[in-house]
Amino acid sequence: MPSLSQCIALIPALYLLAVATPLTFIDLREHRLPNRLVLPVFPIALLAQIVAATIESDWVPLASAVGLALATFLVGLLANYFDWLGMGDVKLASGIALVLGFFAPLLPVVSIGLAFVLAFLAICFQLVRGSVKIGSSIPLGPYLLLSCVGSLVWQLIS
Protein backbone atom coordinates (compact mmCIF):
# COMPACT_ATOMS: atom_id res chain seq x y z
CA MET A 1 0.00 0.00 0.00
CA PRO A 2 1.44 3.40 -0.96
CA SER A 3 2.20 5.85 1.83
CA LEU A 4 0.38 9.17 2.16
CA SER A 5 3.26 11.02 0.52
CA GLN A 6 3.30 8.57 -2.41
CA CYS A 7 -0.45 9.02 -2.84
CA ILE A 8 0.00 12.79 -2.93
CA ALA A 9 2.85 12.41 -5.43
CA LEU A 10 0.48 10.37 -7.64
CA ILE A 11 -1.85 13.35 -8.13
CA PRO A 12 0.04 14.67 -11.20
CA ALA A 13 -0.04 11.17 -12.70
CA LEU A 14 -3.81 11.20 -12.26
CA TYR A 15 -3.88 14.53 -14.08
CA LEU A 16 -1.93 13.00 -16.98
CA LEU A 17 -4.34 10.09 -16.99
CA ALA A 18 -7.29 12.49 -17.08
CA VAL A 19 -5.94 14.38 -20.10
CA ALA A 20 -4.51 11.33 -21.89
CA THR A 21 -7.61 10.69 -24.00
CA PRO A 22 -8.10 14.25 -25.26
CA LEU A 23 -4.35 14.65 -25.84
CA THR A 24 -4.28 11.40 -27.81
CA PHE A 25 -7.21 12.37 -30.03
CA ILE A 26 -5.86 15.88 -30.64
CA ASP A 27 -2.36 14.60 -31.41
CA LEU A 28 -3.64 11.91 -33.77
CA ARG A 29 -5.89 14.40 -35.57
CA GLU A 30 -3.78 17.58 -35.56
CA HIS A 31 -0.22 16.43 -34.76
CA ARG A 32 0.01 18.83 -31.85
CA LEU A 33 -0.27 18.74 -28.08
CA PRO A 34 -1.97 21.88 -26.76
CA ASN A 35 -0.26 23.81 -23.98
CA ARG A 36 -3.57 24.21 -22.14
CA LEU A 37 -3.56 20.44 -21.48
CA VAL A 38 0.18 19.75 -21.19
CA LEU A 39 1.54 22.66 -19.15
CA PRO A 40 -0.67 22.26 -16.04
CA VAL A 41 1.22 19.05 -15.19
CA PHE A 42 4.23 21.15 -14.12
CA PRO A 43 2.66 23.22 -11.30
CA ILE A 44 0.49 20.25 -10.25
CA ALA A 45 3.53 17.97 -10.04
CA LEU A 46 5.73 20.52 -8.28
CA LEU A 47 3.08 21.34 -5.69
CA ALA A 48 2.23 17.69 -5.01
CA GLN A 49 5.90 16.71 -4.83
CA ILE A 50 6.77 19.59 -2.49
CA VAL A 51 3.97 18.47 -0.16
CA ALA A 52 5.12 14.83 -0.39
CA ALA A 53 8.75 15.79 0.24
CA THR A 54 7.71 17.90 3.22
CA ILE A 55 5.72 15.02 4.72
CA GLU A 56 8.64 12.62 4.33
CA SER A 57 11.33 15.23 5.11
CA ASP A 58 13.15 13.85 2.07
CA TRP A 59 13.92 16.31 -0.72
CA VAL A 60 16.08 13.98 -2.82
CA PRO A 61 13.17 12.59 -4.91
CA LEU A 62 11.99 16.13 -5.69
CA ALA A 63 15.48 17.26 -6.68
CA SER A 64 15.88 14.13 -8.81
CA ALA A 65 12.54 14.68 -10.55
CA VAL A 66 13.27 18.34 -11.29
CA GLY A 67 16.75 17.48 -12.58
CA LEU A 68 15.39 14.73 -14.83
CA ALA A 69 12.67 17.03 -16.17
CA LEU A 70 15.23 19.72 -16.92
CA ALA A 71 17.58 17.25 -18.62
CA THR A 72 14.69 15.87 -20.66
CA PHE A 73 13.69 19.38 -21.69
CA LEU A 74 17.23 20.28 -22.76
CA VAL A 75 17.65 17.08 -24.80
CA GLY A 76 14.19 17.68 -26.25
CA LEU A 77 15.13 21.24 -27.22
CA LEU A 78 18.12 19.87 -29.09
CA ALA A 79 15.91 17.30 -30.82
CA ASN A 80 13.43 20.05 -31.68
CA TYR A 81 16.21 22.16 -33.18
CA PHE A 82 16.93 19.35 -35.64
CA ASP A 83 13.18 18.83 -36.26
CA TRP A 84 13.24 15.37 -34.68
CA LEU A 85 10.57 16.23 -32.09
CA GLY A 86 7.82 18.80 -31.82
CA MET A 87 7.75 21.16 -28.86
CA GLY A 88 4.52 19.58 -27.61
CA ASP A 89 6.32 16.24 -27.40
CA VAL A 90 9.26 17.93 -25.64
CA LYS A 91 6.98 19.52 -23.03
CA LEU A 92 4.99 16.32 -22.52
CA ALA A 93 8.16 14.22 -22.15
CA SER A 94 9.53 16.75 -19.65
CA GLY A 95 6.28 16.65 -17.66
CA ILE A 96 6.37 12.87 -17.67
CA ALA A 97 9.99 12.95 -16.48
CA LEU A 98 8.96 15.27 -13.64
CA VAL A 99 6.06 13.04 -12.61
CA LEU A 100 7.89 9.70 -12.86
CA GLY A 101 11.29 10.93 -11.67
CA PHE A 102 9.89 11.42 -8.17
CA PHE A 103 9.31 7.68 -7.83
CA ALA A 104 12.55 6.36 -9.34
CA PRO A 105 15.33 8.09 -11.28
CA LEU A 106 15.38 5.51 -14.07
CA LEU A 107 11.62 5.40 -14.52
CA PRO A 108 11.45 8.39 -16.92
CA VAL A 109 14.28 6.94 -18.98
CA VAL A 110 12.47 3.61 -19.25
CA SER A 111 9.14 5.28 -19.99
CA ILE A 112 10.40 7.65 -22.68
CA GLY A 113 12.59 4.94 -24.20
CA LEU A 114 9.60 2.60 -24.30
CA ALA A 115 7.54 5.31 -26.02
CA PHE A 116 10.12 5.55 -28.80
CA VAL A 117 10.21 1.76 -29.18
CA LEU A 118 6.41 1.59 -29.38
CA ALA A 119 6.32 4.45 -31.91
CA PHE A 120 9.05 2.74 -33.98
CA LEU A 121 7.13 -0.54 -34.02
CA ALA A 122 3.91 1.26 -35.00
CA ILE A 123 5.70 3.09 -37.81
CA CYS A 124 7.24 -0.15 -39.08
CA PHE A 125 3.79 -1.71 -39.17
CA GLN A 126 2.34 1.32 -40.97
CA LEU A 127 5.23 1.33 -43.48
CA VAL A 128 4.58 -2.32 -44.29
CA ARG A 129 0.87 -1.57 -44.74
CA GLY A 130 1.71 1.43 -46.90
CA SER A 131 -0.28 3.89 -44.80
CA VAL A 132 2.76 6.15 -44.18
CA LYS A 133 5.90 7.01 -46.10
CA ILE A 134 9.45 7.32 -44.88
CA GLY A 135 9.97 10.87 -43.64
CA SER A 136 6.37 11.30 -42.46
CA SER A 137 5.86 12.82 -39.05
CA ILE A 138 3.96 10.83 -36.46
CA PRO A 139 2.18 11.86 -33.28
CA LEU A 140 4.42 10.77 -30.40
CA GLY A 141 2.08 11.91 -27.61
CA PRO A 142 -0.05 8.75 -27.48
CA TYR A 143 3.06 6.58 -27.11
CA LEU A 144 4.50 8.86 -24.42
CA LEU A 145 1.24 8.71 -22.47
CA LEU A 146 0.83 4.94 -22.87
CA SER A 147 4.38 4.24 -21.73
CA CYS A 148 4.00 6.68 -18.82
CA VAL A 149 0.92 4.87 -17.54
CA GLY A 150 2.55 1.48 -18.07
CA SER A 151 5.77 2.52 -16.32
CA LEU A 152 3.92 3.97 -13.36
CA VAL A 153 1.76 0.88 -12.94
CA TRP A 154 4.86 -1.31 -13.17
CA GLN A 155 6.59 0.83 -10.54
CA LEU A 156 3.62 0.67 -8.18
CA ILE A 157 3.11 -3.10 -8.38
CA SER A 158 6.78 -4.03 -8.12
pLDDT digits (tens, 9 = 90+) for 132-151: 777 777 899 999 999 999 99
C-alpha span between 102 and 114 (Å, rounded): 18
Is there a contact between 107 and 101 (Cβ–Cβ < 8 Å)?
Answer: yes
Side-chain-facing half-sphere of 13: CA atoms under 13 Å? 23
pLDDT at 35: 98
C-alpha span between 130 and 134 (Å, rounded): 10
pLDDT at 6: 87
pLDDT at 130: 81
pLDDT at 1: 66
CA separation (Å) from 127 to 85, 136, 140?
19, 10, 16
Residue ranges for the chain with pLDDT beneath 50: none
pLDDT at 137: 79
Q: For residue 57, is it left (φ>0), alpha (ψ between -120 and 50) or beta?
A: left
pTM summary value? 0.94
pLDDT at 131: 79
- CB count within 10 Å of CB 59 equals 12
